[in-house]
Structure 1
Amino acid sequence: MKSSGPVLLLVWSALLLSACSRDGAATNPGAGDAEDQPAVRVAEVVERKMTRSLELSGNILQSRKAALSPTVPGTIRQVHKREGDLVKKGEILVELDPRDFQLGVQQASAALSAARAGLAAAKTGLDGIEVQHQRFVDLRKENAVTKAEFEKIDTGYKVAQSQHEAAAAQARLAQVGLNAARKKLADTVARAPFDGVVTQRLLDPGEVVRMMPPSIVLVIMDIDPVNAEGQVAERDLGAIRERALVQVMVDALPGRHFAGEVEVVVPFVDPGTRTAKVRVVIDNPEHELKPGMSATIRIDLAEQMLVLVPREAMTSPPIDGKGSVFSVDGEQRIHLREIVVDQSQQGPEVVVLSGLRPGERVVVAGAGGLSDGQQIRLSGKLPKSAADAAPTSPASTDAPPGEPPPPPAAAQSAEAVRQAAEPGR
């Protein structure tokens, strides 16, 4: 019995090590790196032909503007409109004191009358000597008058012609003077150049209008229709069509949408901002839209091929059109990718403007706690909770129904060694 002690000790040690090994395997089946890798669900980046809208920030502008004032200097006699008043094209808005200009018309008219009288006298004198001159021409041909006699009549005729021409020029000049005086009188009245509304009244009756620097009495704007202008990125210029439909929203009228269309895409790209100006036109019959209001311009773009990813792939909501996703390479490693998106688009998919290519894969679920360069494993369906993902102990499935589960393998092995060591067993 003394020789059996060391043998029993060796058997005991071997069985215990074996049981511990089996028990460790049972409690951690399939142990390895794969079990430690987070399970994620991925989706493929796709490209699809579709339409989208583009949102621009801008301002409401008048379609036309005029700084109004009489075009002659003088004292204001009357201003017919105040700020906010509507005006019609051709309506009299400002009048100067016309008395000095009326006097100028009278003087110019008198000068014209005198010039016309002088012209008439010169014409009478010319007509009289012209007949005599013609008779002397005929007599000279027949040598019926001397050369000296003919030259005297010929000189008088030429003088009469010159006097008539001078009188005619004077009459024409007097007519120009009268026309100018009449225009100055007419210019004492300022009329509306178009239908609009008075937005500023800068001078009142009794104040003086000067030419240098020019005095402005009223500012009027045409606000039906109005314009809205915004800057569009260079990459989107090709998708904007003239006459394309737009919707305009203003902060001052929440919930309201105003229909319009693209009027012009200015053919110049600012090299500093890489943007170009887009101007849209909006009917404004009720004058609800006012110049200076901040506006959001939503433009329907032409159909084009767009790169799309599920919105759930974004690691966080985009800011200023920039965001990030986790892409998955062929070795099942993830990489944090910065992307540029069209933030104005709504729905389950995000339009990617740059940063991803069609065919790439991105993480759409299970991205919590991931880091750049981490190894992952793919999962068709993620567990709802960590408890759902925990493996079930193999020992719990070996006992028949209604019986307690068998003891762990290590306990079974220890019991066998004990029984072998007992005398008489």
Structure 2
Amino acid sequence: MQQMRRYAAGIAIAAAVGAVAFWYATRAVPVSIVTPKRGDAAEIVYASGVVEPRVWAKVTSTVRERIVEQCNCEGERVEKGAVLARLDDTEARAILSELQARLSLAQEEYRRKLALAERNTISEQTVDRARTDVAQLEALIAGQEARLAAYVLRAPSDGRVLRQDGEIGEVAEPGTVLFWVGEPRPLIVEAEVNEEDIPRVEVGQNAYLRSDAFPERALEAVVDSITPKGDPVTKTYRVRLRLPEDTPLRIGMSTDVNVVVRLSRNALVIPAAAVSGTRVAVVEGGTAKLREIETGIRGTDGVEVLSGLEETARIISPLSPDFADGTRVDVVQTATN
């Protein structure tokens, strides 16, 4: 009797498990649906860029020396050749004075030996050596005078001092930019485009920009030029984009650049999350049917549908890759596309 009770209990448990499994396998899966919409589909090339003036130059020091004088001219216009800063040239001038003193002695020695040579008391070779000493010192003085010019930093062209760095008393390192001189308008965006994308980028293409400084504002630019030689280390090409005169962007701002390389007007578009490979799931009644579609432009948010889908179709979004054809579904939300 006890054994029969155990058998009965086992059968009851198995029946319950089977019922749960059947319910689980045949239950309606809750899904969200969207319908396709008409709009513009754009194929884009992404890059990051920085806003710069079209015309500008960096002013750097070529010697390592302390700053002793500096203009207070940031934001002001300057003429070409205007003195922007002076570096301590005390040591350089001391060297020049020493060379000039040596030259005076060498010249006096040359004149003395020249007079002796006229009386045939010394050889011509001795006079030539004295003449060579004078010429060498003259060359050293000319070089030192040229080096002294490097201790004065001048504006390379007419323009506005866009930025000024360094303070009096600081040591200017060779290659360190102390002044940026240029015109604040027009502005460009200098962007770096990956080498696999650069064949699709052409001069004249439109671009849409996004800047953290203006998150709600639509910003536009036009591809102005492409540097012929890429960087083999970063595997990028420099692309310059022309900004409109009324752009709110400022020099030095960073931007996300989306260059429109192909545009399809009035295209049938569905969310990218609704497509798994080339398949979508269309809800018909309470069942989902998988369909193959032909796609065109694929963006991060949307996919252009060329064929295989009606405009009134109710498609599941998002669609998981393992979604099975014929699955019973329960529409719990109609999302906006």
**How does the TM-score come out when normalised to structure 1?**
0.49
Give the equivalent residue in structure 1 for 2:204: 244
The CA deviation at 1:238 is 3.0
What secondary structure, in the 3-state scheme, does the structure 1 residue paired with 2:309 have?
A: strand
Q: Give the Cα–Cα distance (whole angstroms) in 2 for the partners of residues 322 and 193 of structure 1.
A: 58
Matched, 1:68 2:60: yes
Query: Is the aligned partner of 1:59 residue 2:46?
Result: no
SS at match of 1:374: coil
Query: What is the Cα deviation at residue 54 of structure 1?
Result: 2.7
Q: 2:60 corresponds to which letter in structure 1?
A: L
Cα contact 2:224–2:242 (8 A) shared by 1: yes
CA displacement 1:386-407 (0-9 Å, x = unmatched) = xxxxxxxxxxxxxxxxxxxxxx
Deviation at 1:163? 0.9
* 1:208-287 alignment runs, 5 A limit: 208-209=170-171, 214=174, 216=176, 218-220=178-180, 222=182, 225-231=187-193, 234=196, 236-241=197-202, 243-247=203-207, 249-251=209-211, 252-253=213-214, 254-264=217-227, 267=230, 276-282=236-242
Please, which of 162, 180, 201 is the counterpart of residue 165 of structure 2?
Answer: 201
* DSSP-derived class of the 1:365 partner: coil
Instruction: Write the letter of the residue equivalent to 2:326.
Output: Q
**2:107 is matched with which residue: 116, 121, 128?**
116
| SS of structure 2 residue aligned to 1:121 | helix
Larger radius of gyration: 1
Does 2:121 match 1:161? Answer: no
Q: Deviations over 1:142-166 (max 9, x none)?
A: xxxxxxxxxxxxxx6xx51221121
- Residue of structure 1 aligned with 2:261, choices 295, 301, 312: 301
What residue in structure 1 maps to residue 268 of structure 2?
310
Post-superposition Cα deviations, 1:325-350, rounded to whole Å, max 9, x if no partner, equal 5279xxx96247797944389xxxx7
Alignment-mate amino acid for residue 295 of structure 1? T
Report the AA paired with residue 203 of structure 1. E
Q: How does 1:4-15 map to 2 (within 5 A)?
A: none
Cα deviation, 1:235-279, whole Å, max 9, x if unaligned, reads: x543322x33434545335245344513336646899xxx84451
Specify whether residues 341 and 300 from structure 1 end up closer, same or farther in structure 2 by C-alpha distance, changes over 3 A only. closer
Alpha-carbon distance in 1 for matches of 2:123, 2:90? 41
Matches within 5 A, 1:84-123: 84-98=75-89, 101-123=92-114
CA deviation after TM superposition for structure 1 residue 229, in Å: 0.7
Runs of 5+ unmatched residues, structure 2: 1-34, 283-287, 318-322, 328-337
Stretches of structure 1 lacking an aligned partner (at least 5 in a row): 1-41, 44-50, 130-155, 376-425
Matched residues in 2 for 1:217 and 1:269: separation? 26
Q: By how many angstroms is 1:362 displaced?
A: 3.0
User: Helix, strand or coil for the counterpart of 1:173?
Assistant: helix
Task: Find the aligned partners of 1:228 and 1:322 in 2 and give their Cα distance.
Answer: 36
> What is aligned with 1:4?
none
Provide the secondary structure at the position in 2 that maps to 1:176.
helix
C-alpha displacement of 1:79: 0.5
Q: Which amino acid aligns with 1:190?
A: L
How far did 1:170 drift?
0.9
Q: Please state how far the C-alpha of 1:177 moved relative to its aligned partner.
A: 2.7
Contact preservation (8 Å) 2:103, 2:138: yes
Aligned to 1:257, the other structure's residue is in SS state: strand
SS of residue matched to 2:146: helix
Instruction: Answer 1 or 2: which has greater strand percent.
Output: 2
Aligned partner of 1:77 among 39, 59, 68: 68
Whether the 8 Å contact between 1:342 and 1:351 is mirrored in structure 2 is yes
Partner of 1:149: none
Q: Distance in 2 between matches of 1:57 and 1:322?
A: 26
Q: What do residues 365-404 of structure 1 show as CA deviations (whole Å, max 9, x unaligned)?
A: 23256964239xxxxxxxxxxxxxxxxxxxxxxxxxxxxx
Q: How many residues align?
A: 271
Higher helix share: 1
The superposition leaves residues 88-114 of structure 1 with CA deviations (integer Å, 9 ceiling, x where unpaired) of: 543211113555544543433232232
Structure 1 partner of 2:155: 192
Task: Give the % identical residues.
Answer: 14
Aligned-pair Cα RMSD in Å: 4.8
| Partner secondary structure for residue 71 of structure 1 | coil
Q: For the Cα contact (< 8 Å) 1:263–1:279, is it kept in 2?
A: yes
Do the aligned partners of residues 278 and 290 (structure 1) sit closer, same or farther apart at CA in structure 2, a change above 3 Å counting? same
Contact 1:122 1:164 in 2 (8 A): yes
Q: Output the CA distance in 2 between the equivalents of 1:302 and 1:122.
A: 84
